[in-house]
Amino acid sequence: MNDHLRFLDGRASVRQFDCHAILSNDLIREMLEHASYAPSSNNFQPWRVMVVKNKEKQRELRKLSADQPQVETASAVFLLFGDKQAYDLDWWQAFHLEKKVVAKEDVTYRIDRIRRYLALHPEDKEIEGLRLDVGLFAMNLMQVVRAFGYDSVPMRGADFDGIKTYLKVPSDWEPILMLPVGKALQAGYPHVRKPVEEFTEIVE
């Protein structure tokens, strides 16, 4: 267990990448498949991903990202979006029946339960829910990337409207995160964290 914990603790945001390192399409798909096991509200899985691994396009993305060099030198830039249209009960029913994880006789009850939940928390099918669900996916992806021997840096400092226009991203996709991924040339910044006592209260 200590090895697993050391691995999880060892994630750091890397900003210096080997610009010659290649990330194959097959490996990208494999990373995303593993990352997709992240939890999401009622398993709606609202994440949408665009991966850019063309250096000319990465240079343009760098211009739209406050000239941060890791956007250009990364092996690939993962752009993570959220799609509010994913919170669709018709899709939920068809998908879960097809995968045989919900019995046909239980569908009405399960859908009614989701409706009641969303009535209590309508924000969970809006941008707030997308940020939570895609954020969980993003954290999973960052650790999966490390498991394959690569590193990453989560970024929000970008002109996402400009990026969406440049890459012709669907207008209703909400930008959540940019994640340059590559082979580290230099370790990320060391972790400095508050002690647990400062942010935790245990109720017994």
For 107-162, write each residue's pLDDT tens digit.
Answer: 999 999 999 999 999 999 999 999 999 999 999 999 999 999 999 999 999 999 99
Give dist(CA 80, CA 69) in Å, integer: 19
| The pLDDT of residue 183 is above 90 | yes
Confidence (pLDDT) at 190 = 86
Token pair belonging to 146: 């490390």
Q: Is the pLDDT of residue 191 over 90?
A: no
17 is a domain residue:
no
Answer whether residue 4 is part of any domain: no
User: pLDDT value at position 1?
Assistant: 83
110 located within any domain: yes
CB atoms within 10 A of CB 77: 27
Q: Is residue 75 part of a domain?
A: yes
Tens digits of per-residue pLDDT, 39-91?
A: 999 999 999 999 999 999 999 999 999 999 999 999 999 999 999 999 999 99
Between CA 158 and CA 152 the distance in angstroms is 16
Q: How far is CA 77 from the centre of its chain?
A: 12
* CB-based burial, 105-133: b 16+ in 10 Å, e otherwise: eebeebbeebeeebeeeeebbeeebbebb
For residue 174, being part of any structural domain is answered with: yes
Residue 196 has a CB neighbour count (10 Å cut-off) of: 8
pLDDT at position 58 is 98
User: Does residue 16 lie in a domain region?
Assistant: no
Total domain count, the chain: 1
Tens of pLDDT, residues 12-39: 999 999 999 999 999 999 999 999 999 9
Buried residues in 168-189 as b, exposed as e (16+ CB within 10 A): ebeeebbbbbbbbbbbbeeebe
Domain that residue 171 falls in: 22-184
Q: Read off the CATH number of the domain in which 118 is found.
A: 3.40.109.10
For residue 124, is it within any domain?
A: yes
* Whole-Å CA distances, 32 to 28, 73, 80: 6, 21, 11
98, two tokens: 């097809």
Residue 111 lies in a domain: yes
pTM (predicted TM-score): 0.95
